[in-house]
Amino acid sequence: MITLGAHRIQYNETAAALGRRTFRVTADDRRPMPLRAREAFMVRTGNYPEGFGCYLIPEGDAAQLNARHLAVAQVPEDLTYLADGDVIRILPERRSLRVLFRRSSPNNSFLLTERCNNYCLMCSQPPRNVQDGWIADEILDALPLIDPDTSEIGFTGGEPTLLGDRFLELVQACKSYLPRTALHVLSNGRTFADATFARRLSEITHPDLMIGVPIYSDLSHIHDYVVQADGAFDETVRGVMNLKQFGVRVEIRVVLHKQTIPRLPALARFITRNLLFADHVALMGLEMMGFTKANFDDLWIDPADYQAELAAATHTLDRARMNVSIYNSQLCLMDRSIWRFAKRSISDWKQEYMPECNGCAVIDQCAGFFASAKLRYSDHIAPVRAAA
């Protein structure tokens, strides 16, 4: 993921002197004094209760920027949704601010690195080979500020496990600071082909950990093609086997596009014979982001045209008593026999509906679309009529 943020933030001198800092946001003027140094106060009614680490003011209140004894940042209109419990990072030297965590959102993810050892044709977060070790520090700063009643957070990338020991350190920090919070890690699994690394992860004994690992084909050469890396299939499968050997929960993820659809039923059979111990299988609609546009002709298939394969694969997995979910797919396109597997999966800040959806009886159960779907979505979207 993709953090939300803004540029052209105005910081006063006192704020600028702080340098980069992480704060928890609050609009509550009765916060206990010892906590205030690590919190950013949202000024709404012109009050500036003392002791806070910094103060966030809406645009149009420029006068307060002059206050010397307070660190003040002026936030634009599109960040005024910030609320209690959110976690932000101020970058005064860049005149920017990043939102690391939104307490009101059920889908908070942390991007651990942009580096990756795969190069998927449809990557929604194209890799960059940069030294971004500072990200781990930032997350370690943020974790203690996150509400411990948060139900789930995610780790994504790039490939999070490329951080090696720091990855393990981050998982440990999640266990320490957020012991009641589920942790969902998206990884290509290749690093876990090293059994020692898998074992060390399991030894952390995080109370609610799942690793989401994509496998795109039952055939090694097709998987390697989709992820653009020789030998990836073997490492990924070995990684999954090692994780399960050490008792770590694994989810297998498949993105549905032109290269994965033809053999989707065969992949489902392969999973039931070879990877039946997987804890969950997620079949996911394609996101029109990142590399997808560049490889559009090799990837795009109207979802209405792959429903037979999707239903066959889903039922194969279900008959084998595996847990299956279908994400990012629209109900009107799907065979009714698989509606019960479809989940409302698109992050709230990404989810949209199309004009064709007007009047649909099941709109509240449907995952809807990614905002990016405006570029291309099925020609067959139509409202589902209520049952007679």
Q: Which of 50, 149, 230, 379 binds another protein (CB under 8 A)?
A: 230
The stretch among 110-118, 149-157, 227-235, 339-347 that binds another protein (CB under 8 A) is 227-235
| Residue 117 found at the interface with another protein (CB under 8 A) | no
Query: CB of 210 within 8 A of CB of 250?
Result: yes
Residue list 187-206, contact with another protein (CB under 8 A): 195
- The minimum distance between CB 221 and another protein, in angstroms, equals 5
Longest dimension (CA), the chain: 68
The stretch among 73-81, 87-95, 234-242, 342-350 that binds another protein (CB under 8 A) is 234-242
| Residue 130 found at the interface with another protein (CB under 8 A) | no
| Residue 12 found at the interface with another protein (CB under 8 A) | no
| Residue 363 found at the interface with another protein (CB under 8 A) | no
C-alpha–C-alpha distance, residues 60 and 62, integer Å: 6
Q: Which of 39, 86, 159, 218 binds another protein (CB under 8 A)?
A: 218
| Residue 315 found at the interface with another protein (CB under 8 A) | yes
| Residue 172 found at the interface with another protein (CB under 8 A) | no
Nearer to another protein, 98 or 263 (CB): 263
| Residue 273 found at the interface with another protein (CB under 8 A) | yes
The stretch among 31-39, 281-289, 291-299, 353-361 that binds another protein (CB under 8 A) is 291-299
| Residue 119 found at the interface with another protein (CB under 8 A) | yes
C-alpha–C-alpha distance, residues 213 and 189, integer Å: 6
| Residue 270 found at the interface with another protein (CB under 8 A) | yes
| Residue 266 found at the interface with another protein (CB under 8 A) | yes
Partners of residue 253 on adjacent β-strands = 214, 282
Nearer to another protein, 89 or 223 (CB): 223
C-alpha–C-alpha distance, residues 327 and 125, integer Å: 18
Which tokens sit at 37? 């140094």
Nearer to another protein, 143 or 267 (CB): 267
Q: What is the DSSP string of 300-350?
A: ---GGGGHHHHHHHHHHHHHTT--EEEES--GGGS-GGGGGGB---S-TTT
Phi, psi of 104 (to 5 degrees): -80, -5
Nearest-5° Cα angle at 171, 167 to 173: 115
Partners of residue 155 on adjacent β-strands = 110, 185
Q: Which of 115, 166, 244, 350 binds another protein (CB under 8 A)?
A: 244
| Residue 307 found at the interface with another protein (CB under 8 A) | no
C-alpha–C-alpha distance, residues 287 and 124, integer Å: 7
- The minimum distance between CB 314 and another protein, in angstroms, equals 12
Which tokens sit at 289? 């982001």
Q: Which of 234, 279, 305, 356 binds another protein (CB under 8 A)?
A: 234
Partners of residue 370 on adjacent β-strands = 351
Residue of 236, 234, 104, 265 lying closest to 159 (CA atoms): 236
Number of residues in contact with another protein, rule: CB under 8 A? 39
- The minimum distance between CB 125 and another protein, in angstroms, equals 13
The stretch among 36-44, 261-269, 301-309, 356-364 that binds another protein (CB under 8 A) is 261-269
| Residue 321 found at the interface with another protein (CB under 8 A) | yes
Q: Which of 220, 307, 325, 347 binds another protein (CB under 8 A)?
A: 220
- The minimum distance between CB 309 and another protein, in angstroms, equals 15
Residues that bind another protein (CB under 8 A): 119, 121, 126, 195, 218-222, 224-225, 228, 230-231, 233-234, 237-238, 241, 244-245, 259, 263, 266, 269-270, 272-274, 276-277, 291, 294-295, 315-316, 319-321
